[in-house]
Amino acid sequence: MITRLSTMFLRTLREDPADAEVPSHKLLVRAGYVRRAAPGVYTWLPLGLKVLRKVETVVREEMNAMGGQELSFPALLPREPYETTNRWNEYGAELFRLQDRRGVDMLLGPTHEEMFTSVVKDLYSSYKDFPVTLYQIQTKYRDEARPRAGVLRGREFIMKDSYSFDMSDAGLEESYQRHRAAYQRIFDRLGLEYVICAATSGAMGGSASEEFLAVSETGEDTFVRSTEGEYAANVEAVVTQPGVERPIEGQPDAVVHETPDSETIETLVNWANDAGVTVEGRAVMAADTLKCIVVKVTEAGAEPELTGVLVPGDREVDMKRLEASLEPATVELASEEDFAKSDFLVKGYVGPVGLAKNGVRVLADPRVVSGTSWITGADEKNRHVVGLVTGRDFTPDGFIEAAEVKEGDPAPEGLGTLTLARGIEIGHIFQLGRKYTEAFDVQILDENGKRAVPTMGSYGVGVSRLVAALAEQYHDEKGLNWPIEVAPFPVHVVIANKDEIAREAAEKLAADLDAAGIEVLIDDRPKVSPGVKFKDAELLGMPLAAILGRSFSDGVIELRQRGGETLEVPAAEIVERIIALVRN
Amino acid sequence: MITRLSTMFLRTLREDPADAEVPSHKLLVRAGYVRRAAPGVYTWLPLGLKVLRKVETVVREEMNAMGGQELSFPALLPREPYETTNRWNEYGAELFRLQDRRGVDMLLGPTHEEMFTSVVKDLYSSYKDFPVTLYQIQTKYRDEARPRAGVLRGREFIMKDSYSFDMSDAGLEESYQRHRAAYQRIFDRLGLEYVICAATSGAMGGSASEEFLAVSETGEDTFVRSTEGEYAANVEAVVTQPGVERPIEGQPDAVVHETPDSETIETLVNWANDAGVTVEGRAVMAADTLKCIVVKVTEAGAEPELTGVLVPGDREVDMKRLEASLEPATVELASEEDFAKSDFLVKGYVGPVGLAKNGVRVLADPRVVSGTSWITGADEKNRHVVGLVTGRDFTPDGFIEAAEVKEGDPAPEGLGTLTLARGIEIGHIFQLGRKYTEAFDVQILDENGKRAVPTMGSYGVGVSRLVAALAEQYHDEKGLNWPIEVAPFPVHVVIANKDEIAREAAEKLAADLDAAGIEVLIDDRPKVSPGVKFKDAELLGMPLAAILGRSFSDGVIELRQRGGETLEVPAAEIVERIIALVRN
């Protein structure tokens, strides 16, 4: 079927939408692919829907090829299964909850572990039924605090979620690897540049997980790669190399000093160097100080609890890393009010000793090991302590990954240093283990007739988000530039010559391509100038544009490869050339 | 791709589910096509999803062929547009409402007139853009008071909804007729027996509408057809032939009688005949009495209002017809309490005179025309009045379609009589007119540069319901029996012979059919008896089952046509025979 711009439901915009910041959002709206219906809730207009369906098809084909079986759960779900796993509460404000006409609690599914576990429990009872991989491509709902960038992070979105059930840990590992390979095929087919990163499991639970990040400056995730070796990880999952322990014996006693107006690391370091303090014979650096950040940690259903977080003074606390370390609990910085309420919290002078004395839990960066000596707050206004030794003067209640990761930090196993970049999370694979199957008491008879609990994996692809990720990687200042696998139309025929003969030739070209099974968009708008048509063709971003313009009078059709070179093709050869380009 | 019963995620059940009453519900659950997730909310298991997708494909192809453009709105919608049309309130308890994390009101879309009207307003401004037909195939939500029969009437369901926008009434008529024709092609391709019925427009508003009803005893809708001519209508839309007016002059005065214990029409007729009352010289019949039913009518946002409904005594009030007549107001019978509260409401003796005297609105059946004379309640215990003449002794405030339609009632235009049957609403087409475009103030420049408001049609197909309607029409006592266009697999190969050669031949048959582009389900379960396999094949309902059983040793494959004859086909010819049958 040939699609005509003269009748297509489309309006391109010359101006960026006011609420758009990232290129994919601007371009998908301007080119008439998507349209906002409510904050974080988007309509797929005809062109956008075509891209979305093509992405879906690639995902479905690869999921079927790896043995996945497709089914489709509702989005409107009962509360009970999510009560069983406590996610009804743990999800917090991100879960859309509602009541039906009888006052029964329901929710809009954010992810479906509970439902898949239940259906496997109900249908299967013998080890002979395993392994099994089930999936759906379905609309999901999460009431994001900050929906962002159009379909990149929406509150209603389309996800492929799959779940593997195996009788053994080795089976789970195999199912996990098959998903990993299928995801690579999916993202390779889509033409995305992506990185597979070690990741945290977050609220999902489970042991191992990896993320697929599409490389993009506008991504919300930061990841690291090592300059040597293959290490890649989301910064949230980067494991800090522990510090080197030192003997405590022989270290000088801690001494409290008057340190007026030294509430920042910078002023503290200046004070120390002015006061002639040295560390191993050299001047004091920020890394010799210990930053003590006070936060409030809230477990689901509990009161917020004060916690001290210790990091070396040359690093900030990375709230996303801290949050990831504490999930599913939520965390926020202590407020002015919290400081006002507790005498021992003296802003700029908080230290681990005062916190511990007052029963506040203290969690330390892994560099704060036994025998390390620090300059830090002395819990009184204008006072700091020098030579506070871990394991002698204070002992953290535990370690935590909270310090920012920096470009140039050592990579694990000594394989060079870390570089930082940003990416869009397009896939996430989890080895969940038995968290959900145990919660639902799934009992399967094993080969010996004994009851066993299957182990589970959970795997997601952000299908609608992939459209945005593709737009991020495939665009230029003029517009979109789709890879052929997902372009709404591989070919855009532009009538840019008023001659009736050109129009007829364009129609024949479109019909010939259509007959060859190639989808065609034809710009047959009668009163639109060639200049506007060219601009729209660049904005809409089909891989090939066949222009029947001025040079058509000389029997030449311009074949513009979006973002690439323009070929001058004799009219008689154009069909053949296009077919060859599309089929490669 | 060949699908194997040995690994397919499926369990067939021998028992009907406890909550199922109609065959499609029982069979779709027993055969593992769907599964309940919550009341009125269903999961599509692999087999069911395949049927659903095939139905969707037929709908999509025909919508594209008639010029429809597909897009996809969210299901989670903002309140404002539905406030503009007052449907936020009018929908009552049927609308799923929720609030997001900021307390903003949202809803789950029950139908999308508001959203489509808004998008057309935003994108289009000139008559040159019209006509346009837009559609989506999308998940809808209605919090039905009585979800029923599985996917036949669910609270989450899939609908194809389309909307036409035209600049003229003639254009709307054309768009409407093109939809009507497309719907006929859709339902013809699906192999459904259906009737196109005149219908009421209900809460949708607008002028004309027709329903497509799949003929089925289990349908919720009752429709009439005339014994001659082509008239068909939902009973809700049947227009009663008005009664014949008679001269009032010369009719005897109304007389009140003591009628002890005559609270039903039957006892009243008996009393009249015992008392020697006659009508035009003959004995009194039920049709000579006037039944006066008291109901409460509630407009959106208003208090319930008492209303009297008058129908001839030989007919019941059909609450569905009454409700349809009063939509979007809701209606219920007056309660014991309502009677207790009003002295003039004497149960069994209510009449139009007392109601009118007490300010209660009285609506009458169209047969209750001027000059008709009735025996009816006298508004006092044990008293009725004889000879109460319409237009002399009482005058209704209006007419209403509320009386039941009976088999044998005269058809319109004298074309025979009416017969009654039941059907499942699978499609509904509306000429909405300008109700929504005016509500949203859609202003389009016409050919003369003047502003004009486009006129609109709205058209729905119950896509998920079609799966149930098909199952209702295509099943027998043994199981489902899908038409080839929607069967999950056209062919089911059954290995029912323990010989290794039979197994190999079955695998080869499946591979050959797969290579010919025919989807195959193969029952390769190793330890399942032939008897169970045959039963499952009948329950699952593929159109063709190729059995490699006992007779395979003699080179014969049984080709069972589900619900039809069994052919004995030489093994060498089986592929060819199956291909021929599938392609026809």
Q: Provide the 3-class DSSP secondary structure of residue B464.
A: helix
Average pLDDT score, chain A: 93
User: What's the rounded Cα separation, in Å, for the pair B542 and B252?
Assistant: 71
Query: Are β-strands B132-141 and B156-166 bridged in parallel, bridged antiparallel, or unpaired?
Result: antiparallel
Partners of residue B155 in chain A, C-beta under 8 Å? 76, 100
Q: Please give the class, per CATH, of domain A255-399.
A: alpha beta
Close Cβ partners of B371 (under 8 Å, ≥ 6 residues apart): B245, B246, B247, B248, B251, B389, B390, B391, B392
The partner residue sitting opposite B76, judged by closest CB among A7, A64, A141, is A141
Are A132 and B9 a contacting pair at CB < 8 A?
A: yes
Q: What band does B41 get if pLDDT is binned at 50, 70 and 90?
A: very high
Model confidence at B246: pLDDT above 80: yes
- Least Cα separation, residue A145 to chain B (angstroms): 8
- Least Cα separation, residue A100 to chain B (angstroms): 7
- What is the structure's pLDDT at B302? 87
Summarize the confidence of residues B394-418 as an average pLDDT.
91
User: What's the rounded Cα separation, in Å, for the pair B319 and B531?
Assistant: 49
Q: Are B288 and B299 in contact (CB under 8 A)?
A: no
- What is the structure's pLDDT at A201? 67
Are B123 and A78 a contacting pair at CB < 8 A?
A: no
User: What's the rounded Cα separation, in Å, for the pair A446 and A128?
Assistant: 8
Q: Are A48 and A33 in contact (CB under 8 A)?
A: yes
DSSP A409: P
Are A72 and B49 a contacting pair at CB < 8 A?
A: yes
Backbone angles phi, psi at A582, to 5 degrees: -70, -40
* CATH 3.90.960.10 residue window(s) in chain A: 255-399
- Least Cα separation, residue B97 to chain A (angstroms): 7
Average pLDDT score, chain B: 93
Substitution target from A2, A3, A7, A9 for chain B, most B beta carbons within 10 A: A9
Are A74 and B134 a contacting pair at CB < 8 A?
A: no
* CATH 3.40.50.800 residue window(s) in chain B: 489-583
Are A156 and B74 a contacting pair at CB < 8 A?
A: yes
- Copy the structure tokens of residue A76: 């409107």
Does A515 or B204 have the greater pLDDT score?
A: A515
For residue A382, the one-letter residue type is N
Model confidence at A19: pLDDT above 80: yes
Query: Chain B residue closest to A141 (CA)?
Result: B76
Partners of residue A147 in chain B, C-beta under 8 Å? none
Q: Provide the 3-class DSSP secondary structure of residue B136.
A: strand
Beta bridge partners of A544: A491, A561
Distances (CA, A) of B44 to A109, A409, A441, B105: 16, 50, 24, 30
Distances (CA, A) of A422 to A220, A233, A293, A472, A487: 7, 11, 26, 12, 25
* CATH 3.30.930.10 residue window(s) in chain A: 50-238+420-472
For residue A99, give the H/E element and its range: strand A96-99
Are A106 and B45 a contacting pair at CB < 8 A?
A: no
Tally Cβ neighbours within 10 Å of residue A477: 7
Partners of residue B66 in chain A, C-beta under 8 Å? none
The partner residue sitting opposite A75, judged by closest CB among B100, B134, B156, is B156
Partners of residue B96 in chain A, C-beta under 8 Å? 76, 98, 100
- Copy the structure tokens of residue A427: 């896939």
Gyration radius (Cα) of chain B, Å: 29
Query: Chain A residue closest to B94 (CA)?
Result: A101
Query: Are β-strands B208-215 and B418-433 bridged in parallel, bridged antiparallel, or unpaired?
Result: antiparallel
Closest CA to A277 of A262, A291, A297: A262
Partners of residue A132 in chain B, C-beta under 8 Å? 7, 9
Query: Chain A residue closest to B157 (CA)?
Result: A74
DSSP A374: E
User: What's the rounded Cα separation, in Å, for the pair B504 and B514?
Assistant: 15
Per-residue model confidence as pLDDT tens digits over A378-413: 998 999 999 999 999 999 999 999 999 999 998 887
Q: Are B156 and A76 in contact (CB under 8 A)?
A: yes
Summarize the confidence of residues A284-313 as an average pLDDT.
92
- What is the structure's pLDDT at A215? 95
- What is the structure's pLDDT at A44? 98
Q: Are B12 and B26 in contact (CB under 8 A)?
A: no
For residue A82, give the H/E element and its range: helix A80-84
The residue assigned the tokens 């080179």 is: B555
Chain centroid offset of residue A68 CA: 24
- DSSP secondary structure of B351-409: -HHHHHHTT-EEEE-TT--TT-EEEEEEEETTEEEEEEEBTTTB--SEE---BPP-TTP
The partner residue sitting opposite B8, judged by closest CB among A69, A97, A143, is A69
Residue B244, burial from CB neighbour count under 10 angstroms (0-12, 13-18, 19+): exposed
Distances (CA, A) of A129 to A133, A179, A444, A447, B404: 11, 19, 9, 11, 55
- What is the structure's pLDDT at A55? 98
The residue assigned the tokens 């094993």 is: A446
Partners of residue A122 in chain B, C-beta under 8 Å? 35
Are A41 and B156 a contacting pair at CB < 8 A?
A: no
Summarize the confidence of residues A537-544 as an average pLDDT.
97
Are B43 and A155 a contacting pair at CB < 8 A?
A: no
Model confidence at B129: pLDDT above 70: yes
Are A38 and B78 a contacting pair at CB < 8 A?
A: yes
- What is the structure's pLDDT at B206? 59
Q: Which fold has domain A50-238+420-472?
A: BirA Bifunctional Protein; domain 2 (3.30.930)
Model confidence at A204: pLDDT above 70: no
Q: Decide yes or no: CATH 2.30.110.10 for domain A489-583.
A: no
CATH tag, B19-190+435-472? 3.30.930.10
Are B49 and A38 a contacting pair at CB < 8 A?
A: no
The partner residue sitting opposite A134, judged by closest CB among B9, B71, B76, is B9
- Least Cα separation, residue B74 to chain A (angstroms): 6
DSSP B100: -
Summarize the confidence of residues A87-100 as an average pLDDT.
93
- Least Cα separation, residue B43 to chain A (angstroms): 4
The partner residue sitting opposite B76, judged by closest CB among A41, A72, A115, is A41
Model confidence at A549: pLDDT above 60: yes
- What is the structure's pLDDT at B563? 85
Per-residue model confidence as pLDDT tens digits over A408-432: 998 887 788 999 999 999 999 999 9
Are B119 and A43 a contacting pair at CB < 8 A?
A: yes
Q: Are B172 and B144 in contact (CB under 8 A)?
A: no
- What is the structure's pLDDT at A202? 60
Per-residue model confidence as pLDDT tens digits over A307-345: 999 999 999 999 999 998 888 788 999 999 998 888 888
Summarize the confidence of residues A36-45 as an average pLDDT.
96
- What is the structure's pLDDT at A146? 87
- What is the structure's pLDDT at B203? 54
Are B46 and A71 a contacting pair at CB < 8 A?
A: yes
Model confidence at B361: pLDDT above 80: yes
Closest CA to A470 of A33, A55, A11, A49: A55
Query: Chain B residue closest to A157 (CA)?
Result: B74
Summarize the confidence of residues B445-461 as an average pLDDT.
95
Per-residue model confidence as pLDDT tens digits over B79-90: 999 999 999 998
- What is the structure's pLDDT at A206? 59
User: What's the rounded Cα separation, in Å, for the pair B444 and B451?
Assistant: 5
Q: Provide the 3-class DSSP secondary structure of residue B85.
A: coil
- What is the structure's pLDDT at B190? 97
Partners of residue B71 in chain A, C-beta under 8 Å? 9, 43-46, 48-49
Model confidence at B127: pLDDT above 60: yes
Backbone angles phi, psi at B259, to 5 degrees: -135, 70
- Least Cα separation, residue A73 to chain B (angstroms): 4
- Least Cα separation, residue A54 to chain B (angstroms): 14
Summarize the confidence of residues A64-93 as an average pLDDT.
95
The partner residue sitting opposite A46, judged by closest CB among B9, B70, B108, is B70
Query: Chain A residue closest to B7 (CA)?
Result: A129
Counted across chains A and B, CB pairs separated by less than 8 A come out at 129
Closest CA to A466 of A140, A161, A187: A187
- Copy the structure tokens of residue A62: 């690869």
Query: Chain A residue closest to B69 (CA)?
Result: A46
- What is the structure's pLDDT at B202? 60
User: What's the rounded Cα separation, in Å, for the pair A110 and B366?
Assistant: 54
Are B106 and A134 a contacting pair at CB < 8 A?
A: no
* CATH 3.30.930.10 residue window(s) in chain B: 19-190+435-472
Query: Chain A residue closest to B133 (CA)?
Result: A9
Per-residue model confidence as pLDDT tens digits over B109-124: 999 999 999 999 999 9
The partner residue sitting opposite A145, judged by closest CB among B49, B78, B101, is B101
Per-residue model confidence as pLDDT tens digits over B502-558: 999 999 999 999 999 999 999 999 999 999 999 999 999 999 999 999 999 899 999
Q: What band does A203 get if pLDDT is binned at 50, 70 and 90?
A: low
Distances (CA, A) of B333 to B317, B328, B336, B338: 10, 17, 10, 10
Contacts 24+ apart (CB under 8 A), B63-68: B63/B135, B63/B160, B63/B162, B63/B182, B64/A1, B65/B182, B65/B185, B66/B133, B66/B178, B66/B179, B66/B181, B66/B182, B67/B133, B67/B178, B68/B133, B68/B134, B68/B135, B68/B162, B68/B182
Buried/exposed B69-100: b ≥16 CB within 10 Å, e otherwise: bbbbbbbbbbeebbebbebbebbeeebbbbeb
- What is the structure's pLDDT at A384? 92
Are A76 and B41 a contacting pair at CB < 8 A?
A: yes
Are B115 and A41 a contacting pair at CB < 8 A?
A: no
Model confidence at A348: pLDDT above 90: no
Summarize the confidence of residues B265-275 as an average pLDDT.
91
Query: Chain B residue closest to A11 (CA)?
Result: B123
Q: Are B74 and B509 in contact (CB under 8 A)?
A: no
Closest CA to A399 of A537, A239, A291: A239
Substitution target from B33, B71, B112, B124 for chain A, most A beta carbons within 10 A: B71
The partner residue sitting opposite B156, judged by closest CB among A38, A74, A156, is A74
- Least Cα separation, residue B44 to chain A (angstroms): 5
Are B94 and A101 a contacting pair at CB < 8 A?
A: yes
Whole-number percent of chain B with pLDDT over 70: 99
